Amino acid sequence: MLVWRLDRWGRSVTDLRATLQELEHLGVGFVSLTEALDLTTQAGLAMAALLAVFAAFEREILGEHVRAGLAHARQNGKRLGRPATAAQHANHIRKLRRAGLSKSEIGRRLQIGRTSVRRILAAPPKKK
């Protein structure tokens, strides 16, 4: 079996080990060209395990940084997620619907998706 990079093949040490055992059981050897790893040898297997551990560590560190950045943004009052563009038109959408326009036509006029129009029309109006 041939792969470009080992970290693109196994996402965890357990996953990598299970796949390697399955390949070994099938009589298939594994060689990674970019890392110059031959996993048919004990030294290659040990190196693959080390690389998998470091890749998992790197993913965890990246996840921690992302979570910390999101928490920091929330603390500074940043609104996270997609902007609520369709919700800003809710009153106008209801007015156009009462005037007899189709959901598709409302979406075209306001340049929003038909599904957003349906969702807003299905929800009860919010009180201010």
Which pLDDT belongs to residue 61?
96
What is the rounded distance in angstroms from the CA atom of residue 36 to the CA atom of residue 96?
65
Question: C-alpha distances in angstroms, 60 versus 32, 45, 51, 76?
Answer: 24, 23, 14, 24
What is the rounded distance in angstroms from the CA atom of residue 54 to the CA atom of residue 6?
12
What is the rounded distance in angstroms from the CA atom of residue 22 to the CA atom of residue 38?
16
Which pLDDT belongs to residue 103?
94
Per-residue pLDDT of the chain (128 residues; tens, 9 = 90+): 666 666 666 667 777 778 888 888 998 888 877 777 888 888 888 887 887 788 788 889 999 999 999 999 999 999 888 777 788 889 999 999 999 999 999 999 999 989 999 999 998 877 65
What is the rounded distance in angstroms from the CA atom of residue 109 to the CA atom of residue 93?
10
